[in-house]
């Protein structure tokens, strides 16, 4: 009786203690923002993020909305020895490594039969997962846990490094790093930002009891400097424009049951100088296609997804034609001379016939009207609209090939100097399309002397 009483009261003490512990944890980090710089690599047109923590994440990683985990090349001779704890196949963490994205779909695998001593990419009884880079995926990565650290920020003042113990990430060999344009120069892996449980947004939020939310702002060029990736709490301060966190226009994040880890939004119509393009509305919706079978079910096609690795927005063929036609006729109306295709672009113009006005080049304005109660508009102006190719400027959109199931994939060229927020708790996507009209830019975030 005595013993039972003692163990009961110690149980309550323990429960109370863990309640206090979890409560203090949640108050400690629920107000925290974590931040990491983003850099543009012109040789691959990809963006990398530097977590700013200590090893094993002290080197740049590909910024990848489609990647289902954080992975790195653990065989790289310059990098530290392998982290210590492999995730076992029968553990809960391994079960949560299931993924379903545009690139891959599947359960984690079981590794048994490594010959010799364990290596970062082979360890008996461990959990084998996918590592995704831009356009490519390797199925041979192994899940481990280690402490990672990220820089915290208080408003615009950089704070201390926050340590995240037992963070699950994948170790891969160097197959992906050695394949063409799979990751930015100098990158050693990828920072996965998908909706998968082990990708950074959900895993960080679970570990630190933060909001399941992140935002990024892609810099305009190498010269402009570094952009920023934020997790958790706002504000998002870009001087001199100040805090942009209350200037978002929101649209719901849509669920595609075939790719629940990817980010889809609803584009309702597209305008050029306020003229609505004649687009077949059903192309803009996610819809079942009886001619496509995916995992033994009818495939889901159409709709709009957001990419952090595709450079120029790709449009289904008839949508591209409608945009190019209206853009060209609006351009012709203000004396801009069309020259046809140049290089990788179908729709180009003679640069010396374009005049410069107050906000940059005087060219037609493209706007995407998004699903939502207040009719949010994503205006795509100037530097997000045209690319320079020699003496020409070209409409910086491309025609999708027949294998692209999405009608619109929003590329990074159109996202530059825009602040994008992915709010997983609120199931919504926010955009501030015009940092530059407040004389701000994605490179204006101050990382302070820590970097």
Ligand X SMILES: *[C@@H]1O[C@H](CO)[C@@H](O)[C@H](O)[C@H]1NC(C)=O
Q: Is 339 or 424 the residue whose CB approaches ligand X more closely? A: 339
Confirm or reject binding of residue 438 to ligand X (CB under 6 A): yes
- Work out the number of other CB atoms within 10 angstroms of the CB of residue 23: 11
The pattern of x and - marking residues 100 through 139 that bind ligand X according to CB under 6 A reads: -------------xxx-xx-----x---------------
| DSSP-based helix, strand, coil % in the chain, nearest 5 | 20, 40, 40
Determine the interface stretch with ligand X among 1-9, 174-182, 323-331, 350-358 (rule: CB under 6 A): 350-358
Which of 350, 355, 427, 450 binds ligand X (CB under 6 A)? It is: 350
CA–CA separation, 203 and 196 (whole Å): 9
Confirm or reject binding of residue 352 to ligand X (CB under 6 A): yes
Confirm or reject binding of residue 240 to ligand X (CB under 6 A): no
Q: Is 101 or 328 the residue whose CB approaches ligand X more closely? A: 328
Confirm or reject binding of residue 290 to ligand X (CB under 6 A): no
- Going 289 to 290 to 291 to 297, the CA torsion angle's sign is positive
Determine the interface stretch with ligand X among 63-71, 208-216, 256-264, 347-355 (rule: CB under 6 A): 347-355
CA–CA separation, 302 and 287 (whole Å): 6
Which of 155, 278, 359, 375 binds ligand X (CB under 6 A)? It is: 155
Please give the structure tokens belonging to residue 168: 């699950």
Min. distance of Cβ 318 from ligand X in angstroms?
A: 8
Smallest CA-to-CA distance from 240 within 156, 157, 178 is with 156
Q: Is 52 or 279 the residue whose CB approaches ligand X more closely? A: 279
In total, the chain counts a number of residues equal to 451
Confirm or reject binding of residue 30 to ligand X (CB under 6 A): no
Residue 412 makes CB contacts below 8 A (sequence gap 6+) with: 45, 47, 218, 307, 308, 309, 310, 311
Confirm or reject binding of residue 291 to ligand X (CB under 6 A): no
In DSSP notation, 393-418 reads: EEE-EEE--TT--SSEEE-SGGGBT-
Q: With CB under 6 A, what is the number of residues at the site for ligand X?
A: 23
Q: Is 377 or 424 the residue whose CB approaches ligand X more closely? A: 377
Min. distance of Cβ 272 from ligand X in angstroms?
A: 16
Please give the structure tokens belonging to residue 35: 């931040």
Instruction: Show the beta-strand stretches assigned E in 295-371.
Output: 297-301, 304-306, 313-315, 338-342, 345-350, 356-357, 360-361, 366-370
Q: Is 118 or 299 the residue whose CB approaches ligand X more closely? A: 118
Beta pairing class for 46-49 and 377-380: unpaired
Smallest CA-to-CA distance from 43 within 187, 197, 160, 165 is with 187
Confirm or reject binding of residue 437 to ligand X (CB under 6 A): yes
Q: Using CB atoms within 10 A of its CB, is residue 369 exposed (0-12), middle (13-18) or buried (19+)? A: middle
CA–CA separation, 374 and 264 (whole Å): 19
- How far, in whole angstroms, is CA 377 from its chain's centroid? 21
Confirm or reject binding of residue 78 to ligand X (CB under 6 A): no
Confirm or reject binding of residue 280 to ligand X (CB under 6 A): yes
Confirm or reject binding of residue 451 to ligand X (CB under 6 A): no
Confirm or reject binding of residue 283 to ligand X (CB under 6 A): yes
Confirm or reject binding of residue 355 to ligand X (CB under 6 A): no
Q: Is 171 or 176 the residue whose CB approaches ligand X more closely? A: 171
Confirm or reject binding of residue 234 to ligand X (CB under 6 A): no
CA–CA separation, 280 and 371 (whole Å): 16
Q: Is 7 or 437 the residue whose CB approaches ligand X more closely? A: 437
Residues within window 241-260 making contact with ligand X, judged by CB under 6 A: 249
The pattern of x and - marking residues 324 through 343 that bind ligand X according to CB under 6 A reads: -------------x-x----
Smallest CA-to-CA distance from 365 within 386, 344, 392, 387 is with 386
List residues near ligand X by CB under 6 A: 113-115, 117-118, 124, 154-155, 249, 280, 282-283, 337, 339, 350, 352-353, 377, 379, 433-434, 437-438
């Amino acid at each position: 009786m005595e013993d039972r009483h003692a163990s009961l009261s110690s149980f309550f003490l323990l429960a109370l203690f863990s309640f206090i512990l979890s409560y203090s944890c949640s108050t400690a980090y629920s107000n925290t923002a974590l931040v990491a710089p983003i850099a543009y690599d012109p040789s691959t047109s990809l963006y990398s993020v530097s977590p700013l923590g200590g090893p094993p994440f002290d080197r740049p990683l590909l910024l990848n909305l489609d990647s289902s985990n954080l992975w790195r090349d653990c065989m790289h001779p310059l990098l530290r020895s392998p982290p210590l704890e492999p995730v076992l196949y029968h553990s809960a963490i391994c079960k949560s490594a299931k993924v379903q994205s545009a690139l891959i779909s599947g359960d984690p695998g079981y590794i048994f039969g490594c010959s010799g001593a364990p290596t970062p990419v082979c360890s008996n009884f461990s959990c084998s997962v996918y590592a995704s880079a831009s356009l490519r995926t390797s199925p041979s990565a192994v899940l481990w846990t280690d402490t990672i650290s990220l820089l915290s920020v208080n408003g615009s003042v950089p704070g201390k490094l926050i340590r995240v113990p037992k963070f699950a990430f994948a170790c891969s060999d160097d197959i992906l790093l050695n394949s063409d344009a799979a990751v930015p120069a100098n990158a050693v892996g990828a920072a996965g930002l998908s909706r998968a449980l082990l990708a950074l947004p959900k895993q960080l939020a679970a570990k630190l009891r933060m909001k399941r939310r992140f935002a990024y702002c892609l810099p305009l060029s190498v010269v402009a400097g570094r952009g920023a990736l934020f997790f958790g709490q706002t504000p998002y301060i870009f001087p001199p424009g100040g805090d942009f966190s209350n200037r978002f226009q929101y649209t719901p994040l849509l669920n595609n049951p075939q790719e629940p880890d990817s980010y889809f939004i609803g584009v309702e119509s597209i305008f050029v100088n306020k003229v609505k393009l004649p687009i077949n509305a059903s192309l803009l919706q996610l819809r079942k296609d009886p001619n496509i079978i995916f995992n033994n079910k009818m495939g889901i096609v159409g709709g709009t997804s957001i990419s952090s690795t595709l450079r120029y927005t790709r449009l289904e063929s008839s949508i591209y034609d409608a945009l190019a036609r209206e853009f060209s006729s609006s351009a012709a109306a203000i004396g801009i001379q069309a020259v046809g295709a140049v290089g990788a672009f179908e729709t180009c113009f003679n640069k010396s016939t374009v005049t410069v006005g107050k906000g940059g080049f005087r060219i037609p304005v493209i706007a995407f009207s998004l699903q939502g109660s207040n009719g949010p508009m994503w205006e795509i102006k100037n530097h997000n609209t045209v690319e320079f190719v020699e003496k020409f400027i070209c409409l910086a959109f491309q025609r999708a090939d027949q294998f692209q199931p999405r009608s619109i994939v929003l590329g990074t060229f159109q996202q530059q100097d825009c602040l994008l927020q992915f709010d997983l708790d609120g199931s919504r996507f926010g955009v501030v399309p015009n940092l530059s009209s407040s004389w701000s830019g994605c490179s204006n975030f101050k990382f302070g002397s820590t970097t």
